[in-house]
Structure 1
Amino acid sequence: MKLKNSLKNLAIITVLLLMTQVSGFAQGTGSFKGKIIEQSTKQPVIGASVMLDNTQFLAATDTLGVFTIENVPAGSYSVTFSSMGFQTKNITEIIISSNKTYYSEIELLEDATTLEGVTISTFKGENNPLTPVSSFSYSREEIFRNPGAQGDIMRALSTLPGVVSSGSQFSAIAARGQGTRDNVYMVDEIPIFNLSHLEAEGFASGFNDPNGGRFSIFAPRIIDNVAFQNGGFGANYGRRSSSYLGLGVKEGNRASWSFSAQADLLGGTVIADGPISKKTSLFVAGRYQNFAMLISMLDEQRAAVSFGDYLIKSTTELNDKNKLSVIAMFNPEATSRKIDDIEAGLDMNEDNSGRTMLWDHQSSQAVVGLNLRTLLNNTSYLTNVLYYRASTVDNNFGRFNPSLDSNGIIINPRADGYENRLRHITNDQQEVGYRSIYTKNFDKLKIIAGVDAMMVSLDYERLLSRTDTIYTFRARDISANPTQYYQILDPSQFNAAFDDNAFNGSGYVTLSWKVANGFTLNSGVRYDYTGFTEQHTLSPRLSGSIALNSRHSINFASGIYYQDPGYSDIAGQTAGNTLKNERTIQSIVGYKMQISNDLKFVAEGWHKQFDDVTVQPNRAQSYLTNDGSGYAYGADISLTKRLSDNYYGQVSYSYMESKRDDHDGLGEYDYIFNVPHTFSLMGSYKPNDKWIFSGKFRYSTGRPTDSYIIHPDVFNDPDMVRYSQEVTRVNGERLPDFISMDVRADYNMHREWGTFSAFVDLVNISNRFNVNSEQFVPETGRIMNIGLGVFPTFGVRFEL
């Protein structure tokens, strides 16, 4: 991939940065207000200390847990929250604006651990006895600063140990030997199955897309906190078996209004945030992205790509006991490549050429949810969540038949006609769900018990308009006629229609017992009923932490995890072919050393056993079975410096093996996410209140890809020359290693009217072409690589 007009782009960036040097009004002052509550009981913490680091500004909470700091000069601050009997918490980059009040609700974890006179600074989800293994978190500012992530939470997670991503081209994550669709996603305690844009179902085989989407559905600065657990999560969560990702959407400011707008290379984002009454706050965000400029700058093939993300969240303190949050999200997207986008001169063998495919993809996702938290007494509370989720997908895939020269260059894209709708897929889902979680705290025991119930409606159709030819195959796919070096796909083998409803129900309980000082044991069990599979499952789980001393601990987790089949996989089966839930048995043991209050070292080893794995006997057909099995194992080490003292960073290394066996006589093979070695190094430094510089280096072993041989002229017809690809060994080779260096620079200027920012975020500055996958080109017999080189973005942001 080539970066076009680089001097012009550099000039644009330079102008943007020079704009930040314009003079403004003198800085004014603002206020910082908030409420501190206990994480375990949600009760107010009285007498807690709040200090703006490296200043004389401090305050203490009153009998309601509320604090206020007045007359703070506009700028960014790091804040420390502390109280006797609680872990000290640090929040970085609190932005104080002139004549405005920054408001935040803070949760503190109990039982502070002292390190030779220094108190550990905890971050969301960290040092929590309920999540002793594989726990990581990001603050809002850490997400935004993450170089190469461009404010995207899913891209920011790619640097965590044990996480495999598809580099800078895709944003979905895969954890510890499993796939991108195997993760639990919770947004304000609402289960959501898809957090990414631009994952066109049916683009390849339509089964377990190894890449996932390309951008998350959350614009920068929407997510306020992130809790990620790379396996070993408790019985509270299920129906997915790999990892847990909990996202908290920012609550509206209860004290004053603020407005911000960001314009970048892909589009723009607008956010409004403030109170609408004494008890209710509002947070509203809208984003629209269009890739036309970027596609032109990167000299990519023409296509129309756009999406939007619209969110509104209100938070109301109904009274001293009840807090109600209401959230609504709408996420439409559209992408197309039509015959008018194809120009003569296109090289069919060039990377990212798109071959002879045409497509028109339209989809949307909508979520509405209510979350009511009720304080029952001083030691217990109840959370009730009611939600509605709907998604629609309408995909058309076509083909054009161009005339080519001897080198594979298109002479005329319309020479032999084209089809806009060879394959058509619609997938409409609706879900109404209810969750009720009860939490009770005793002296040395904590009980969490809950029930989930959901009614799912699925309307799915997949149509092939005519008999099609498949040019990539395995020998077993054409065993009926082994001299025919291609596969005929009949509509009867592809078409599917499904319109049905199903009920899913779950119940779970977790007991967290403080056995002794420094020894916590968590035991739990989860029951699930899955309507579409008519299957009852029981999942016992156990985890714990043993503190060797004030700095060192041993942590462990083990359990059984069941995973529901994907809805599109259920809908694609013939009558009578009912899929089963996949089962994973996980075991994790780790060592953690808290070197200082914000510096942590973690080493973990893990193992997974997979049973009843869904497999696809014939890649071109929709028929699936649960004949597969497999295993994965590995080890992760990481050293994390949390954001404090104006800098933060992380270095991590992961070793992993992931194997599968479809029990089809071909034996064991590397799973698509078998990436033995992954290394990442990331750092960010803020030399003053204006500049922030960040960098990230990533390396990983190349992904597995099939071994194959090429058959020429399979039709023996000079007027219809076609090649075919016979797969001789599934994932028998590897793509080139992934190597990328990302850099980011931010400039911030605080003035009396607000804050002006400019940023440059460059992914893969060396422009190394990192290959994510290969595609065979039957017209030329060559291999086209799908991947990405440099990926730039830059923009400006105003906050008023």
Structure 2
Amino acid sequence: MNESNHYLPNKMKAGSSCRIFVMTLMLSMMSVLSLAQTQGNIKGKVIEQATKQPMIGVTVQVENSEKGAITDEGGNFSIENVPIGSYALSISFVGFQTKKVTDVIISSGKTYYAEFELLDEVGDLGEVTVMAFKGESNPTMPVSAFSYSREEIFRNAGSQGDIMRALAVLPGVVSAGAQFSAIAARGQGTQDNVYMVDDMPVFNLSHLEAEGIASGFNDPNGGRFSIFAPRVVDNVQFQNGGFDATFGRRSSSFLGLGIKEGNRESSTFSAQVELLGVTLIYDGPLTKKTSLFTSARYQNFAGVANLTGIQNMGSISLGDYLVKTTTEINSKNKLSFIAMYNPERPSRTLEDIDPGTNINDDNSSGLALWNHRGSSALVGFNLRTLTSTSSYWKNVLYFRASTVDNTFGYYTPSLTEDGEILDPAFGHHEEELRTIQNNQQEFGYRSIYTKNYEKVTLTAGVDAIAINLDYARNLTRPDTLYTFRSTDFRPDPNQYYRIVDPARFNTSFENTAFNGSAYASLSWNVTNRLTLNPGLRYDYTGFAEQHTLSPRLSGSLLLGERQSINFATGLYYQDVAYYNVAAQSFGNLIKNERTIQNILGYKMQFSPDLKFVAEVWHKQFDDLVVQPNRTESLLTNDGTGYAYGADFSLIKRLSKKYYGQVSYSYMQSVRDDNDGQGEYDYTFHIPHVFSLLGSYKPNDKWVLSAKFRYSTGRPIDDYIVHDNVFNDLNFLRYSQELTSRNGRLLNDFVSFDIRADYTIQRKRSDLTLFLDITDIQNTFNVNFEQFIPLTGQVSQSGLGMFPTFGVKVEF
């Protein structure tokens, strides 16, 4: 008994110790799990922008915390056990501009991974720190250089994540109005901009360009919606003119888009469901050396039309599909692959016409019926090779294709005396009056070498492009057009309409041509304060059979630690649009258009994230493509013109909890077709443009954004109306005679946009509710006017409030 009593306490002690150990183990595991549920990691790589070499010893600091890291010999860093939330990173190294990265979102159990580039200090900046957003504060891009981060695009109110709509607030940039997202820069058109996606040229970044809508010719307003889903574009570089010799074949502005690279460390899946459609995104590792980023978006605008009361719009559906892989082959070679496919399927049939609609107030396509089948595609490889410690070589191989299959018709409904449509089926309609097929294929190769010396950086390269065009335009019978210019040819001056003859309208073209380019540019640090960037570009254009040389020069002079004078001048040649080349009769060659640009600017860097920029600019245009007779496809190079203006902007970059911008632009743009009619204001002659935007993030849950835009109304033709042009009351038709080209202005454009995002961070997912409203005050902004031959009235086409709302879930 005593013996058993002796052992009982020991057994109890052993059992108690076991329970304590198990409880301690469980508590430890719960603690670890708790940490795993409330913490994440930050990893990345830092390279030198000029040479693409990995940087050793760079300090990466999580601001307002003690967490940080130093990059190793491969430029890599790792910061572990960061509590979930939103952070800012500071990346610094002696002799380089400090880079600020805001809104680094840490999710539970996830690793945030990104590659960062550091730029050399600009001259004698002393102790001043510059927020080195991609492309800004770069002496090789001294004028008109602006950039957006992925988060800034997302926060741009009223843009619905559309990068093109976000760009419309930059100084000197305008769009064709509320319906359109394509941009026009400094007195030129929507087709005049250089677009590069991961260093591959793309000529159209928007859906619904409506080729053939203007009596069979192209719509100058550009497209309506970007081909990129929200959060696909990782960084944006924009130069409003003055870009260097590396880029050509367009003359107005340069827009470089970088598609997001996949996360090499952890995977994320997100789904966004909204009024406009559905977007799915996967971002994560594919193999040990390869990351994958892919997105799929489907949009249908029936919901917006029903909510806003837009009638007779027709059916509009769009798709955007993208895959990008990035592979670190070894320490010297990095390969990216991208594939994009962007189909669109809009149509408007008799079934889309609502009885009871007043045709004079129809905010759609008037009397037009149409069926459009189109798509664009891009496939390409981009290989970056480090050839030495001070140089790298970039080789880009791509294939681009686009298809257009458009059918246009019209309907003549029975109307009440007030102009209301009776049953559309009782009227006359013709669905296939005009057809346009435009198929393009382009194979391209770009090879660009960059060498960094002590005082000079050399960039040299060649481009080789093979283009195949297959184009056909057909009118089934003579067509009567009830809108005409006073100068249009008519066999009888009392004939107040014009006839389009199929023999003059119809055309077909199938041919292949070669384009070649060679270019070289230097960035020379003449002194600590003066940088000069001379360059020369050679282009051969196959369809024009033309050789051109384009010398260019830009530079920057530092006035002190915070101020600089910037300038650019140069010659820019622009290829004729492929659809215009294909529409010409055999043997009619159109030359490239020529632009001479001059820019002078002043920049004041008040703080790392706040700068003021003022620029004056002038452009001279020669050999502009014009259309002497609007009923024929014949084009000539008889046009000339000029444009000038001034841009002012104060930009607060995204840091801490807010960002914003205020800008004003003054612009004049004048053309002369040299047809005896004199000068006229160009389509994008918009004298005054003002924009104000801001975004505030009070905590990790809310993001609030707003934007205000104002611009002078666009120029439009003066006209008079003729009654009963056939002198037949049983076939009553009115016509519109355009008496002066762009002789009056549409109403001013005014829009106030808001956006609100509310995010709930959960253990395994993030949930975001959002509301984004364009033109919340519902001002009807007119884009263009349409003449109604049945009533003699003019219908204004435009857009008022355009909302979307939805939910995004990220796992």
Q: TM-score range by the shorter chain?
A: over 0.9
SS of match in other structure, 1:510: strand
Q: What pairs up with 1:589-608 in 2 under 5 angstroms?
A: 589-608=600-619
Residue equivalent to 1:223: 233
Q: What pairs up with 1:258-337 in 2 under 5 angstroms?
A: 258-302=268-312, 303-337=314-348
Give the conservation status (yes or no) of the 8 Å contact 1:763–1:790: yes
Q: What pairs up with 1:643-792 in 2 under 5 angstroms?
A: 643-792=654-803
1:343 Cα shift? 2.5
Inter-CA distance 218–381: structure 2 relative to 1 (3 Å threshold)? same
Residue equivalent to 2:118: 108
SS of match in other structure, 2:422: strand
1:479 Cα shift? 4.1
The aligned amino acid for 1:357 is A
Residue equivalent to 1:139: 149
SS of match in other structure, 2:449: strand
Residue equivalent to 1:121: 131
SS of match in other structure, 1:233: coil
1:117 Cα shift? 3.7
Q: What pairs up with 1:541-552 in 2 under 5 angstroms?
A: 541-552=552-563
Q: What pairs up with 1:230-629 in 2 under 5 angstroms?
A: 230-302=240-312, 303-629=314-640
Give the conservation status (yes or no) of the 8 Å contact 2:401–2:441: yes
1:77 Cα shift? 1.4
Q: Matched residues in 2 for 1:113 and 1:542: separation?
A: 19
The aligned amino acid for 1:544 is G
The aligned amino acid for 1:37 is I
The aligned amino acid for 2:156 is N
Q: What pairs up with 1:622-637 in 2 under 5 angstroms?
A: 622-637=633-648
2:73 aligned with 1:57, yes or no? no
* Number of residue pairs matched by the alignment: 777
Q: Matched residues in 2 for 1:353 and 1:281: separation?
A: 44
Residue equivalent to 2:208: 198
1:412 Cα shift? 2.8
Q: Matched residues in 2 for 1:208 and 1:336: separation?
A: 17
Give the conservation status (yes or no) of the 8 Å contact 1:543–1:556: yes
SS of match in other structure, 2:306: helix
The aligned amino acid for 1:336 is S
Give the conservation status (yes or no) of the 8 Å contact 1:398–1:422: yes
Segment of structure 1 superposing worse, 746-755 or 386-395: 746-755
Q: Matched residues in 2 for 1:94 and 1:400: separation?
A: 55
SS of match in other structure, 2:305: helix
The aligned amino acid for 1:509 is A
1:207 Cα shift? 4.4
Q: Matched residues in 1 for 2:658 and 2:112: separation?
A: 23
Q: Matched residues in 1 for 2:382 and 2:216: separation?
A: 34
SS of match in other structure, 2:565: strand
SS of match in other structure, 2:674: coil
1:131 Cα shift? 0.4
1:353 Cα shift? 3.9
Q: Matched residues in 2 for 1:516 and 1:674: separation?
A: 40
Q: Percent identity?
A: 64
Residue equivalent to 2:176: 166
Q: Matched residues in 1 for 2:391 and 2:435: separation?
A: 52
Residue equivalent to 2:15: none
Q: TM-score scaled to structure 1, two decimals? A: 0.96
Give the conservation status (yes or no) of the 8 Å contact 1:148–1:168: no
Give the conservation status (yes or no) of the 8 Å contact 1:399–1:418: yes
Give the conservation status (yes or no) of the 8 Å contact 1:115–1:596: no
The aligned amino acid for 1:666 is Q
Q: Matched residues in 1 for 2:757 and 2:537: separation?
A: 46
Q: Matched residues in 2 for 1:732 and 1:455: separation?
A: 42
Q: What pairs up with 1:32-47 in 2 under 5 angstroms?
A: 32-47=42-57
What are structure 2's unaligned runs of at least 5 residues?
1-33
Q: Deviations along 1:469-495, whole A, 9 cap, x unmatched?
A: 011111221343111000011101211
Residue equivalent to 2:10: none
Q: Matched residues in 2 for 1:487 and 1:503: separation?
A: 39
Inter-CA distance 450–152: structure 2 relative to 1 (3 Å threshold)? same
Q: Matched residues in 1 for 2:217 and 2:175: separation?
A: 18
Inter-CA distance 45–114: structure 2 relative to 1 (3 Å threshold)? same
1:212 Cα shift? 0.8
Segment of structure 1 superposing worse, 380-389 or 572-581: 572-581
SS of match in other structure, 1:476: coil
The aligned amino acid for 2:293 is F
Inter-CA distance 299–86: structure 2 relative to 1 (3 Å threshold)? same
Give the conservation status (yes or no) of the 8 Å contact 2:124–2:560: no
Q: Deviations along 1:746-765, whole A, 9 cap, x unmatched?
A: 11111211211011111111
SS of match in other structure, 1:411: coil
1:206 Cα shift? 5.0
SS of match in other structure, 1:340: helix
Give the conservation status (yes or no) of the 8 Å contact 1:261–1:798: yes
1:406 Cα shift? 1.6
Give the conservation status (yes or no) of the 8 Å contact 2:177–2:782: no
1:113 Cα shift? 6.4
Q: Matched residues in 2 for 1:118 and 1:432: separation?
A: 46
Q: Matched residues in 1 for 2:197 and 2:255: separation?
A: 9
Residue equivalent to 2:82: 72
The aligned amino acid for 1:80 is S
Q: Matched residues in 1 for 2:701 and 2:364: separation?
A: 42
2:159 aligned with 1:149, yes or no? yes
Larger Rg over CA atoms: 2
SS of match in other structure, 2:392: strand
1:166 Cα shift? 2.4
Inter-CA distance 625–95: structure 2 relative to 1 (3 Å threshold)? same
The aligned amino acid for 2:257 is L
The aligned amino acid for 1:311 is L
Q: Matched residues in 2 for 1:461 and 1:96: separation?
A: 53
Residue equivalent to 1:176: 186
Give the conservation status (yes or no) of the 8 Å contact 1:347–1:353: no
Give the conservation status (yes or no) of the 8 Å contact 1:425–1:463: yes
Give the conservation status (yes or no) of the 8 Å contact 1:346–1:353: no
The aligned amino acid for 1:83 is F
Q: Matched residues in 2 for 1:716 and 1:572: separation?
A: 36
Inter-CA distance 361–73: structure 2 relative to 1 (3 Å threshold)? same
SS of match in other structure, 1:516: coil
